[in-house]
Amino acid sequence: MNLPAMATTCFVTGNEFVEDERVVSHLVRQASDGEIVRLDVKEESEPEFETPGRVVCRWTHPFKPKLLQENPERDLKLTAETLFLTLADPNAELSPDDSRLVQFLALMLERKRMIKPRGRTADGAKDIYEHRGSKTRCEVPVGELNPAFFIAVQEQLSVLVGSPDEASEGASVSESTDGNANSAPVSAVEPRTD
């Protein structure tokens, strides 16, 4: 999957963006073909925006044409790292749902040592991370890592990688074809009767 660069025109109106105009970017799984696409819309045109599928996340940021001219053929590989850097950009404004996704990505990338924790902001509301490759610093909202947090993040991630229902259907098919349909799950522990 690729995360395309920001469009130069509004998805709704077709009008060109102007420098520093507020743009709302949506990462969407299209209902028609299941492809992940980025759709950019002028902030004032967002009420007319009709999503062609399930929204993974959305963020608001100013349009910067110079970023588009650096390397116009370049598509970023859609990885946890590129998604994190896009959403954690200091100019991006996130919804609470998307803040949760950024928190999860930060946790994952910290574990992979792709970002390093550098403390908290003075007000204690955000954790500061430094990206290992680019040395850029990102601020991520502090959140409580409880079961509700992980369930909500799982729902967002399922849009990217497929729903949990599809995965469980695949597991039951493989279980019935390997001849071990009656075997206990790996996580099950039977009590000893010594």
What domain range is 149 assigned to? 96-164
CATH code, 9: 3.40.1440
Same domain, 109 and 54: no
Residues 71, 100 within the same domain: no
The residue among 72 and 87 whose pLDDT is bigger is: 87
- Higher per-residue pLDDT: 161 or 93: 93
Instruction: Say if residue 56's pLDDT is above 70.
Output: yes
Q: Assess if residue 190 is contained within a domain.
A: no
Question: Is 83 contained in some domain?
Answer: no
DSSP state of 141: E
Residue percentage of the chain with pLDDT more than 90: 17
Q: What is residue 165's predicted lDDT score, i.e. its pLDDT? A: 47
Verify that 66 and 120 share a domain, yes or no. Answer: no
Residue of 190 and 63 predicted with greater confidence: 63
- Whether 46 is covered by a domain: the verdict is yes
The Cα 86–Cα 42 span in angstroms is 18
CB burial readout 84-110, b (16+ within 10 A) else e = bbbbbeeebebeeebbbbbbbbbeebe
pLDDT score, position 2: 62
The answer on 70 and 102 residing in a single domain is no
- What mean pLDDT do residues 100-109 have? 87
Asked, for residue 17, whether it belongs to a domain, the answer is yes
The answer on 152 and 104 residing in a single domain is: yes
| pLDDT tens figures, 1-53 | 566 678 889 999 999 999 889 999 888 888 888 888 889 999 999 999 998 98
Res 127 pLDDT > 80: yes
Q: What is the pLDDT of residue 77?
A: 56
Both 108 and 70 in one domain: the answer is no
Give the pLDDT score at 1: 55
**Domain contains 49:** yes
The overall pTM is greater than 0.75: no
Q: Are residues 6 and 63 in the same domain?
A: yes
Is residue 88 situated within a structural domain? no
pLDDT of residue 3: 67
Instruction: Please check whether residues 57 and 104 belong to one and the same domain.
Output: no
Range 68-93 average pLDDT? 67
The predicted-structure confidence for 132-155, as pLDDT tens digits, reads as follows 888 888 888 888 888 888 888 887
Residue 154 lies in a domain: yes
The count of structural domains within the chain is 2
- pLDDT at residue 183 tops 80: no
Look over the chain and give the mean of its residue pLDDT values, rounded to a whole number.
Answer: 75
The position carrying tokens 């819309």 is 41
Q: Is 66 part of a structural domain of the chain? A: yes
Distances from the Cα of 118 to the Cαs of 121, 126, 134, 180, in angstroms?
Answer: 9, 11, 15, 49
* 65 plus 5 within the same structural domain: yes
Tell me: do 103 and 68 sit in the same domain.
no
Q: Would you state the structure tokens that stand for residue 142, as one six-digit string?
A: 């502090």
